[in-house]
Amino acid sequence: MQDRAPDNRPYFFLSYAHTPQWGPDSGDPDHWVRVLFNDLCNHIVALTDLPAGSPPGFMDREMRSGEGWPEKLSENLAVCRVFVPLFSPRYFSSEMCGREWYAFHERMLNARTTGTATASAIVPALWTRVDLRELPDSVRHMHIESTSSGGRYLNNGIYGLIKLSRLRDEYDETVFGLAERIVQAAREARLPPGRPRDYESTPSAFKPRGTGPRHIRLTVAAPTEDSVPQHRDARPYGDDALDWNPYHTESTRALSTHAEELIRSLDYRVTVAAFDDESPAEEPRGSGERQPGILLVDQWALSDEERRRRLKTFDAYARPWVSAIVPRCRADLQNHGQEGRRLAEELERVMPTILERARRSDTRIAVNGVPTLKSFTRVLPEVVAYTTRQFLKNAEVRLPPGPHFPRPRLADPYPPSGPDAGDEPGGEA
């Protein structure tokens, strides 16, 4: 039997919000995070067969002040087996932590989409007490494992357990339990390494409160397996338009599912709808009447005359905050044959408004035919950001209903009297 090659990848990436110094004599504000990191490493070495000399975990320490720290972060996010975020109020206001979360979550989604991993490889821990009801939407689905110390862990977090000497036993038990969960998650997820993501272009998973709309409408315009033209390869299609999987040679899941999870990981709420299920009202619902929208459109959807007519109407009514993405899989040879080229040209005639808007922006690649799933995964956050900016820039501000009061105006407190008073300054003409 052939020996299995040793896996010397770090078991975990410790993601935490750096605490600023409050004064010149405040010492190292992240000292206790380092203590936790070292304790976790010691436990994991004891619990696993990690080869000698291999680092059990990774934390950035002081790298951000040195050369090459973004590359080092990206490399470790691409290879570590488990992501361990230390929840605290400061964590969710940190853009850096939000980027770390998004990069790892994107890697996890890619593995899920390609069928190489299914279980979650994120193991959150409470550093300090947080109100779980106030978590960003992008992380609210995460489950916080309780410990035998129960309320003491939830009320104090690991920081409180480590700082209060009377709770030292609870700290030891909590950290050992966390190490066990890290090892278990690594074993169950078996997350393969990914390619490092450029740190500067990585969006944050934590959208600051009050920075605009947090709801995106995602609409899919694609045929079904039954309605696709007879000569068209039916493998990308299913019983419903939402089953459309244009990158079926790379992915085992529908594109709408992948897109929905990516948008949620950007801290947005998402409504997903099939274009064919939208009521053919005078103004199409997905054209952006109340919220930003993104249309995923298959050029083969234009093979149907009625759908082509409705897409033209959709384009005519589309607000500036409605964008489109046109997947055109490079491996799908029919997309590049005579019929595919004709439909691509037809799409230009049917949706000139939305396509031209995109080409005047930084999201032009989204409508020029996205060739691979990886390209789609990278361009979608850019389209979400662009669409949100357009909503903030162009959407009409609607005041809530209520009683109407006349606008106040300045007037002379001592108006002149007499028949010619209207001609005097401060009088009414």
- 10-residue mean pLDDT profile of the chain (429 residues): values are 71 94 79 96 96 92 67 94 96 94 95 88 94 83 67 88 88 94 95 92 83 84 94 96 96 95 93 86 58 96 95 94 96 94 96 95 93 96 94 68 51 51 43
Contact between 371 and 193 under an 8 Å Cβ cutoff? The reply is no
Angle at 265 between CA 262 and CA 269, to 5 degrees: 90
Written as six digits, the tokens of 165 are 């000497």
- Which segments of 317-408 are extended strands (E)? 322-325
Q: How far apart are CA 26 and CA 184, in angstroms?
A: 38
The pLDDT, as a whole number, for residue 416 is 52
Q: How far apart are CA 295 and CA 273, in angstroms?
A: 10
Number of Cβ within a 10 Å radius of residue 353: 16
In terms of C-beta density within 10 A (0-12 exposed, 13-18 middle, 19 or more buried), how is residue 24 classed?
A: exposed
3-class SS at 361? coil
In terms of C-beta density within 10 A (0-12 exposed, 13-18 middle, 19 or more buried), how is residue 397 classed?
A: exposed
Nearest to 204 by CA among 2, 384, 72: 384
User: What is the torsional sign of CA 326, 332, 333, 334?
Assistant: negative
Contact between 286 and 215 under an 8 Å Cβ cutoff? The reply is no
Four-CA torsion 126, 129, 130, 133, nearest 10 degrees: 100
The pLDDT, as a whole number, for residue 428 is 41
CA max distance for the chain: 114
Specify the pTM: 0.81
Number of Cβ within a 10 Å radius of residue 352: 13
H or E stretch including 271? strand 269-274
The pLDDT, as a whole number, for residue 167 is 86
Length of the chain: 429
In terms of C-beta density within 10 A (0-12 exposed, 13-18 middle, 19 or more buried), how is residue 66 classed?
A: exposed
Q: How far apart are CA 38 and CA 44, in angstroms?
A: 10
